[in-house]
Structure 1
Amino acid sequence: MSRLVIVVEKASDWGSYYPSDNVVSAQDYLKQPLSDDDERTQVINLCRSYKYLGTGYYVSLLAEARGHKVIPSVRTINDLRRRSLYGLDIEDLNGKLGKFLPAGGRDTTDFGILVYFGETSYPALEDLARQLFETFPCPILRIEFERERVWQISAIKPTGLHSLSDEQEDAFAQSLDKFSRKLWRKPRARRKFRFDLAMLVDPAEAMPPSNKRALKQFVEAGNELGIEVDAIGRNDYQRLAEYDGLFIRETTALDNHTYRFANKAEKEDMVVIDDPGSILKCTNKIYLHDLMLSRKLPIPRTEILYRDEAKRLDELAGRMEFPLVLKIPDGSFSRGIVKVETPAGLKEAADALFQHTALVLAQEFMFTEFDWRIGVLNREPLYACKYFMSRGHWQIYNHAAKGTAKSGGFQTLPVREAPADIVKLALKATAPIGDGLYGVDIKKAGDRLALIEVNDNPSIDAGVEDAYLGEDLYRRIMAEFLRRMERKRLGVRG
């Protein structure tokens, strides 16, 4: 995958640990001649200080100039000097710190902890330590707290390996080993792949965007094109810097790790699908509603309901015909969608949905035997499917079915055989969102078209979306990653 280099300021700083070929002195690293080898290199800079224009600063600066991924980066070093970035009250910090203050320490007004690669020995502050490391990726951080009325972070300081006690050195070694499993592990035989692509998956997800056979097809298609595709999980956040690109194959949401992964990948200047902008625009139906209206694209008649406007909800029955469909803004795979037949049912369903969201969409019910799904990649149509409603149900997915959710049938066909107006509408819908991979759902009733939604993370299951293109579907997606990664390497934008 990538070569690991650990840089220490003095050889004695590593004296407590086993010798390793991965460890070099700062002086030797700075004197290294530039190499034509395109092997990805991950540098962990353990210099004693990152003072501006000091040895540690130059290690990170030249690492970036050489195309190496380094922790801490120069940006992180500079950010750690800016107290404005972290001088904020931390929610529930009083309660968390109170759990492990020394006996009789209620009068304590300052406190500090060490964080090694996002880990701390204080369980109550594990989440905080991880979040701070994600914000300021640095091998060793000392987090200092102070209390006047409430606890707050007073300082975040990078700390040198040489300053650790024996017990702290053991804790650091464990965290380093966990952070980079390659340190004491025999390296595998190097494979000749031009690029490395991380594919974010969750094996435990009940309804993932791609089934296991499709994930395997992505790996094989990538390998054929010189891309090593490596499945990663939510705990591999800090490994992202090892890769050239990120392909998200988990259901995305703004409030979970998928958005953090996409955001970090974009900041690392990696090729990423789904990019954070697409996730932001597609995962909220309220946003999509206004976006499509502003583009004058046909959508079902829709009204937005507000939790605190009971009168508007009461009047809705006079403005729209039943049945109606209520939707929470961030539902997926037909979840968070309720069909209501009467004013009483409308109020009951709305009250239930308002427990989870301040806004709800009320939409006219358009029955069709199937929805069109047009896959779009880089502003071009990729595949076309008909998704039929689940048997005896009004949606594609029936979550009320006993056992697992039941879905209707499908028909996959060449894009050229899909109605031209459907394909044209799909391309218009994705144009203001981006150039990623999307699935556009459209209903057609007679001559009327209605855009239902744009999915930033469309289903691509073996046996369904690939039923016409077969292996070529996976090759086309991997070929787009290859094109973008080649352009990144050449410094070409767009």
Structure 2
Amino acid sequence: MSRLLIVVDRAKDWAPYYPSEDVLTFDQYLQFSAPASSRVRVINLCQSARYLSRGYYCSLLAEARGHHVVPSVMTLNDLSRKGLFSLQLDELDASVINWLEAAGAEIEPAGDNNHATREVRVRTYFGQAEHGDLKPVARALFDRFPCPVLEVVFRRGKTWQIASMKPGCPADLKGKEQDDFAAAFDRFSSMVWRKPRTRRRYRFDLAMLVNDDEEMPPSDKEALEKFEKAGRKLGINVEQIGRRDYMRLPEYDGLFIRETTAIDHHTYRFARKAEAEGMVVIDDPVSILRCTNKVYLADLLKNNKIPTPKTLILSKDQKDSAEQVIRDLGFPAVIKIPDGAFSRGVTKAEDEKTLRAGLKELFKQSALVLAQEYLYTDYDWRIGVLGGRAIYACKYYMVEGHWQIYQHGGAEVDSGGFDTMPTYEVPRNVIQAALNATRLIGNGLYGVDIKQSGNRVAVIEVNDNPSIDAGVEDRFLGGELYTLIMQEFLSRMEEKRRR
């Protein structure tokens, strides 16, 4: 369990807000101590953040004690250096510029500057802004300078830019500003504002990153509920979070990503931050890096003699890429972009014309493209591997009349049937190929796609974020599959706590 502390200069600074035993004065925080194994999060709301002030020392002491503090000393130092935040805003959405133009008040030109100048002063609270048009700016600033209250001055000479920015504190707020601050704090950390209710005490807190708007998520809603239920039985409070909860990560002991991952994506940033916070993470950032790019994965498997289809790595600037595919692979051949998921960005070339057209289209998206020999099978094996052992096995069948297990292009994505079976019924060489491949990636949760043709086994790819849907991957093990995964989190979090 993690504990949240709110530090203010004086008790009366918190008087307008809901009373909480988690509110400490700065002097009380000086005397505060917590068990070495506990996780403590500090929200520093002291009035002054200048160098060697109480606010500065609050953040400094928090970091020295191993507490996770907002704002950090680095943020306070950055906010004191104007050059770091004097940002040009000419690339912002037009709605932001229009709002600034409408809200801005003219000010007297300074010095030799004869240009008419307009200025807007706003406060943001935990990345939230009162005016809807400013929300993207407030979120971006909070991601860069995590600070509970920011007082921002926008100024326009020839273009709009941030003229100044400094930390604020709740003691300076009045009326509606206090309501806005309270609402933003509520969204940022629901632990503080809601009235306490009797509930079971859990040994650990696990954040499960999900995206309700994702078209094809790794786990459906029923499966997510089963993860939560399995966690509760083991003493783990499993809570679903979204991309807006990035700054809340230190509240938890672990992170379980149940959203499709990518490198240039918030899922990777979540994994990096969680790892930096000392949390147990699945998918960890190294696994995401190694699995989501098929070029890296193909080279890794080839150099370690893992059986795969014959594979070529083609460059956009390569003049004879089509000729090389024809010469080395023949037809049909499969071409794919390095970071596609769920069969997206994958084409089967039946002849030279479709090959050249496919390569032209894919090279618009990526400087490198993979080409592989086409291995016909009625189904692909999917072997689920966790912590170096196989925990489930599925056969995913091709869509009827199609060569893949997913078919895109219509109003809905079609998928083939499936069979789920115990791992002991899977051919031994299929299991061994999956285990050998995942050892090169890490020690997390993986789904290994494998084709089997007679005695030949070929690893197609290793997924760092494998599908686990209710009624599919859990068809054989049922609730035990979710317990196995939660038990792995429990073991790792217990190990972290013992260190």
What is the CA–CA distance in structure 2 between the aligned matches of 1:289 and 1:12, rounded to whole Å?
A: 62
* Distance apart, 1:74 and its partner CA: 4.2
Residue aligned with 1:127, SS = helix
Letter in 2 for 1:197: L
What is the CA–CA distance in structure 2 between the aligned matches of 1:365 and 1:386, rounded to whole Å?
A: 19
In structure 2, the residue matched to 1:212 is 221
What is the CA–CA distance in structure 1 between the aligned matches of 2:372 and 2:324, rounded to whole Å?
A: 14
Q: Is the 8 A contact 2:89 2:159 kept in 1?
A: no
* Distance apart, 1:246 and its partner CA: 0.9
Q: Show CA shifts across 1:443-464 (max 9, x none).
A: 1223332221010001112222
Asked if 1:437 is matched to 2:445, the reply is yes
Q: Is the 8 A contact 2:121 2:152 kept in 1?
A: yes
The 5 Å alignment of 1:293-312 reads 293-309=302-318, 311-312=320-321
In structure 1, the residue matched to 2:257 is 248
Q: 1:454 to 1:94 in 2, by over 3 A?
A: closer
In structure 2, the residue matched to 1:201 is 210
Q: Is the 8 A contact 2:255 2:281 kept in 1?
A: yes
Range with greater deviation from structure 2 (440-449 or 77-86): 77-86
Letter in 2 for 1:441: D
The 5 Å alignment of 1:414-453 reads 414-453=422-461
In structure 2, the residue matched to 1:269 is 278
In structure 1, the residue matched to 2:355 is 346
In structure 1, the residue matched to 2:236 is 227
Letter in 2 for 1:48: Q
Letter in 1 for 2:468: I
Q: Is the 8 A contact 2:322 2:352 kept in 1?
A: no
Aligned length: 489
Residue aligned with 2:69, SS = strand
Letter in 2 for 1:331: G
The 5 Å alignment of 1:107-126 reads 107-108=116-117, 113-121=122-130, 123-126=132-135
Letter in 1 for 2:69: V
* Distance apart, 1:282 and its partner CA: 1.0
Q: 1:437 to 1:154 in 2, by over 3 A?
A: farther
Q: Is the 8 A contact 2:2 2:40 kept in 1?
A: yes
Q: 1:483 to 1:52 in 2, by over 3 A?
A: farther
Q: Is the 8 A contact 2:117 2:157 kept in 1?
A: no
* Distance apart, 1:198 and its partner CA: 1.2
Residue aligned with 1:393, SS = coil
Letter in 2 for 1:349: G
* Distance apart, 1:437 and its partner CA: 0.5
Q: 1:74 to 1:329 in 2, by over 3 A?
A: same
Letter in 2 for 1:72: P
Letter in 1 for 2:48: S
Range with greater deviation from structure 2 (166-175 or 361-370): 166-175
Q: Is the 8 A contact 2:7 2:43 kept in 1?
A: yes
* Distance apart, 1:204 and its partner CA: 3.5
The 5 Å alignment of 1:379-398 reads 379-398=388-407
Asked if 1:45 is matched to 2:44, the reply is yes
What is the CA–CA distance in structure 2 between the aligned matches of 1:163 and 1:214, rounded to whole Å?
A: 46
Letter in 2 for 1:455: N
Q: Is the 8 A contact 1:278 1:433 kept in 2?
A: yes
What is the CA–CA distance in structure 2 between the aligned matches of 1:428 and 1:282, rounded to whole Å?
A: 14
Q: Is the 8 A contact 1:93 1:152 kept in 2?
A: no
* Distance apart, 1:40 and its partner CA: 5.9
The Cα RMSD (Å) is 3.2
What is the CA–CA distance in structure 1 between the aligned matches of 2:326 and 2:36, rounded to whole Å?
A: 68
**Gaps spanning 5+ residues in structure 2: where?**
108-114
Range with greater deviation from structure 2 (68-77 or 291-300): 68-77
Instruction: Give identity over the alignment, percent.
Output: 54
Q: 1:429 to 1:80 in 2, by over 3 A?
A: farther
In structure 2, the residue matched to 1:459 is 467
What is the CA–CA distance in structure 1 between the aligned matches of 2:290 and 2:419, rounded to whole Å?
A: 28
The 5 Å alignment of 1:330-409 reads 330-400=339-409, 403-409=411-417
* Distance apart, 1:196 and its partner CA: 0.9
Q: 1:476 to 1:79 in 2, by over 3 A?
A: farther
Letter in 1 for 2:54: T
Q: Give the alignment's TM-score, normalised by structure 1.
A: 0.87
Residue aligned with 2:117, SS = coil
What is the CA–CA distance in structure 2 between the aligned matches of 1:315 and 1:271, rounded to whole Å?
A: 44
Letter in 2 for 1:279: I
Q: Is the 8 A contact 2:6 2:45 kept in 1?
A: yes
Q: Show CA shifts across 1:48-92 (max 9, x none).
A: 223455422343344456665432234544555577865776671
Q: 1:169 to 1:433 in 2, by over 3 A?
A: same
In structure 2, the residue matched to 1:286 is 295
In structure 2, the residue matched to 1:129 is 138
Letter in 1 for 2:448: V
* Distance apart, 1:394 and its partner CA: 0.9
* Distance apart, 1:286 and its partner CA: 1.7
Letter in 2 for 1:117: F
What is the CA–CA distance in structure 2 between the aligned matches of 1:224 and 1:114, rounded to whole Å?
A: 44
Q: Is the 8 A contact 1:377 1:438 kept in 2?
A: yes
Q: Is the 8 A contact 2:116 2:157 kept in 1?
A: no
Q: 1:294 to 1:56 in 2, by over 3 A?
A: same
In structure 2, the residue matched to 1:187 is 196
Letter in 2 for 1:295: N
Q: 1:166 to 1:218 in 2, by over 3 A?
A: closer
Q: 1:360 to 1:173 in 2, by over 3 A?
A: same
Q: 1:199 to 1:210 in 2, by over 3 A?
A: same
* Distance apart, 1:9 and its partner CA: 0.8
Q: 1:322 to 1:223 in 2, by over 3 A?
A: same
Q: Is the 8 A contact 2:106 2:119 kept in 1?
A: no
